Structure 1
Amino acid sequence: MRGGASPTGASWRGVRRRRRLFSFRGVASLLLPIMAALCLVAPAIAAERPLAPLDVTSPRATLRSFLDAARHVEAAFVAYRAAPDHEKLRAFDRRVARTARLFDTGALPHAVREEVAAAAVGFLYDILLRLPPEDLSLALDAPQEGDPPIQWRIPNTEIAITRIAEGEQAGSWLFSPRTVARLPAFHAAIIHLPLQQPSAVENWHLAQSNLSGPFFYGEAIDRLPAWMRQARVLDTPLWKLVLTVTLWVGAALLLLIWLQVVGRSTARATTPIRALARLSAPVLLAVLAIGVRRFVLLEISLSGGAFAQAERAISLMVVYVAWSWAAWLVIIGLVETVASLSLSRDQAYHANLARFIGKVLALASASFVFVLGLNEVGVPALGLLAGLGFGGFAIALAGKSTLENLFSGLTLFADKPFRVGDYIHYGEGAGVVENVGPRSSRLRGLDGTLTAVPNTELVTARITNYTARTKCLFLHTLGLRYGAAPEQLERLLEGIHATLARHPMVEDATGMPRVRLTGFGDSAIEVEARAHVLTTDYATFLAVQQELLFEIMRCVADTGLRLATRTQTVLIGRDRGDEAGRRDDDDTPRPG
């Protein structure tokens, strides 16, 4: 047995040898691809230091930093595509944002810098993946002799990296603003060429713009019609554009519905409650804008295109409009709440002054916030305001009347010729003052019409304030028929004086009331009755005046006199001397 090999043992050893060989080959066949993948990915993962600053000390260092950062972006994209979730999407966005720091976007508006820089990452990575290897190798490995120039280009391209001269990034080498602006054109010119470097994605710009959040990723997008998935508008997939616009329209409709609800539910509410309810509208607008923007960012994932930049700017501007609106309502609400507590006449005056100043402050605050928003989205409103020069002088001249009315309103409050609620007469108009605003004052006429009078007109006009009087003047002239005896006139004067003096609303003062025979008119003997009625209310004065006039009529009747009617006698005659003269001068022959 020892000298010979047992067939059974040999067979068993052969089987074990084949099993070992099979197991080795099987394990090797499984491990080799994994090890190869790890060899490709492990260096990038090992080399990633999220907190380490990017090397921008030289043009080549910046280019090398971009390629390293782009590989991390690629690894994050592959991980998200394999198992989509929000954490992986945020990791991908963080890597894109880190890579985007290598682009000089300082000249762009704050609102679109992130969008433009994120799109530039995809554009530039696509371009570099298609450059000939020798050009890229020359750009990375060629020795640098002496100090680099202010601007450095990748060989055989117009892609420039420039040195930042001032600011927080002074001394850093970044891809130039001109390069950032021209990357879409460079990308369009080279994207048809085959890849020269291995990459998990053939077209990174297209992959970025088609990327969506976990909610829409996969089957949700596959259910859409092919034309909606493939069509692009403003460098954005059509389905993303339609969904984004739908969200904003829905937010606008929700805000309009809320405004209707607030208006109806607070119609009879107190001033503080109404002010708080109105303030909810801009708060809701800000919440809706932030919510829509958040959903667009996390689920729709707009990236880079013109529509994405416009949506970002609009969403930011809507938030600033909401805060501007809120600033206006807060100031107006506080002023109206304080004004609603005013009871006395002096308090009412100060309340209206507070309203006036509050409107000016509210307008200034709202305008300031709105201008900040315009500045954020790229409209240099602050710079325009600061450097208008001659244009500012022209605008000031154009707004001369507005400024005049504003200062005239302040003059009216300082001079106090009238207050809200006073009945005044100015120029050719009259009415009850209902409001004094920054531009005009509103007066309610006796016929119920409302007239807006510019403040400058009131400042320069002669104003009679009937409400400010302490008493009302009763002044009437009686016309008596000629033929009255002096004794009758004396009794009438005494009777009218007694009637006026005993009325409780008539002032009893030195020389008042006064009844005098004042003259002989063309058709009547004139008697004047003058007295002061102790009231400032015009309706009360009219009632007292009516009583006194009836009593005067009775006095006239008791003395046997009669009131005269105004008459005029016209005598029509012919001057015979003139007629005879005309006859003598007439040489016309007469018959017979």
Structure 2
Amino acid sequence: MKNILIAFMALLTLVSPATADEMQDWTGVWDTQWRGGGAVMDLHQDGKDVVGTYPGFEGVIEGRIDGTQLTGTWMDAAGEGVFTFVMSPDQQTFMGRFGTGEWWTGARTQIDMASAFFGELDMSSPERTLESFVRAGNKAGEGRSDRLGIVLPLLDFSANGEELTPYQRIDLTRLFFQIVDRLTFRIWELRPIGDITGETDYTVELTQAGSNLSYPVTFRAVDAGDERSGPAWRLVIPPEGEMRESLEELTAIHGGVVPHSRAHRELGSPRATMRTFIEYWDQAEKKNTELFLETMDLSRIPAAIRNEEGALLGEYLIEVLYRIGRPLRQEIPDNPERRGRYVHFLHPTGLVEIVPSEREDGSVQWQFSADTMDSARQLFMALEDMPLLGDKERARQPTTFFQLRNQVRGLHRDLLQETRAGVELWQWLALTLWLLMALPLGWVLTWGAAKVLRLQTHEDEHSLSAAVRFIWPLRLVFVAAIGLFAVQSLGLPQSVDIPLRVFFSVILSIIGGWLAYNFVDKINEFLELRATQDQILRSLATSIAKLAVIIGAILFLAEVLSIPYQGVIAGLGIGGLAVALAARSTLENLIGGLTLFADKPVEAGDFCQVGEHLGVIEGIGLRSVKLRSLDRTIITIPNAEFINLNIENLTRRDRILLRKTIGLRYETTPDQLRWVLTEIRILLLKHPMITPEPSRARFLGFGEHSVDIEIFAYVKTNDWNEFLAVQEDVFLRLIDIVEESGTGVAFPSVVNYLARDGGIDEESTERAEQIVRELRDGDALPFPNLGVKARKELRDQLDYPPKGSVDLESRGEKKG
């Protein structure tokens, strides 16, 4: 395997460079960044040679491709040097270095320098110049100096000296934009009154919302080189020192600092809310919907459908804003201390306003009002025929509903005619069609699901039960789901949309909960038949799953019906103590069940001694353990009590102890006793069902009526019936040994002999004593233990079961 891997890696090493040379293409527009700045760079590749420019800094680069690398030289207003770029495997980004190790990274972008920036620079009037500057600054973003380089033709830097590098000009431009961005003004209101063609400079006072501060902005007329169009107007950039002083005054209302680039996400002003709303609508395709929905007051919409309905109303509002004219954010107040509502648009059918509301932590956030959201659809209908303004700025296309509506509009304008409840004709037709399709489709889907899950057959004697538990609930769930999808897709008015959504959602919560509850039982039955899961885990998981289904269905229903259950849940924190005390035994049993699952001292089917009870574990539940006793009765033991009992799991024994003390008559001679001990030890070694270690037979001592021998051995089985059979066999052989020795088993009783006692067998006694004398004379007396050689020779020599036993066949052996 290692050699194959090495060969494979070597093959990749040989193939990769050629593949990289064939596939890599540096041609395109790259959005690049370095420490403290960046630039939009346009690269063109010719073979292995690459040239490019980044006009924001009057920059030029030249390089040559070597594998995945592009190396060469750069030169701009700041100086010149060498660089190394390495393209990523997906050819969408690169990593680079220049200078003394400074980083330079880039990503492919769809920016078209000519159309996206230069085409917007309108210098025909002061207000157009300021609008072009602000729009470019808004696109650049705080701190993105590279994009601001595009607007340098709009600016007059003469107040800061003649010899300025592009970098210095961009820094001054960024500083000036930060000032303008702190102000609130309407572009239309900047139009000069009267003829200013003879003027060289034109100054307007721009104010800051929430303060008495104003800032003068000066425009300077220059020769545009076209007599028909008149002069071009540039913004005059004040000296740097004056701008910094002004910026310090203007940021006092924001705590003395320039708000960071993500401060608007806190929704602290009408401007921040409008900006966040538009930005996050553009990003909604990437699932960044939470903050987008937070910009709108959706409190009048049921919680269960709030996200879907809020997204739809948000799109209506976006369409309205594009028809009004997408606003510059500088035209909207950003005063964080403002408390009065901000009205952005008024119409006889509704309005667009942003109002403050208080958060739980006491801070203020601004949202589009509930009235605005209620009127969003009516506003869209009223403005629908208004041509779009600024549509080319869209980063996201309309959703499926609006695309569908546009197609309907293209078919016939009369299909958009409103009927009762504000529903358009095409929506009634589409909704009716959806519902008519839902019935047969629900039946077909249910039939397929029933076949796959084997929920019901015509021959099933429990078919009625299956129909009630699964078939009809599935049909209703499919029909409700199809209906809910239709309602979400058709963009119906709230007066129709919300009742239908609530109706279908209630069906899904109730019937879906019933269906899920029965499916839990179905899964439990499936696992129980196959016995593939731990019985304790299955029981606990089933109970917890059922409880979760019930709670989930109730909470979902509460969401649909707008029942304020949050307060009830919070109250459980206080009432939880009382509930815990009242249900203490139930909780103890639940915890006991979890402990049994974690510890697993027993399992279903184990034969156990539990306290004073002996029997087989039949079931382990969430509350109790069921044990079937030897009397065939069921004993139920609560989990909390069960885990505190002494539990002896007899099933898990690997062997069973055979321990017995036998007493021989006091007339037994020492040599007889030695012979008996020897024969018993030989018996234990020869027996194949007895473990050789640590089996033993020992002279234990002198009892009241006998000399005692203790037998200690383990039987190789964990089955009690087999153990009894082995024990029986050993005891019968012990009787033979005792009889052969000539002695007898002692009894703790008083015997009155009416006849003469025959005593012990003298012949057997002599024979036993003779054998012991021979062993002693031959230094083979097996005390205290048999020798190692003898133990090996004697091991497993007895037939067990004995010859002629019917048990031989069950052990797979032939009768001897």
TM category (shorter chain) comes to 0.3 to 0.5
Question: TM-score normalised to the size of structure 1?
Answer: 0.41
Question: When you count helix as a share of all residues, which structure comes out higher?
Answer: 1
Question: When you count strand as a share of all residues, which structure comes out higher?
Answer: 2
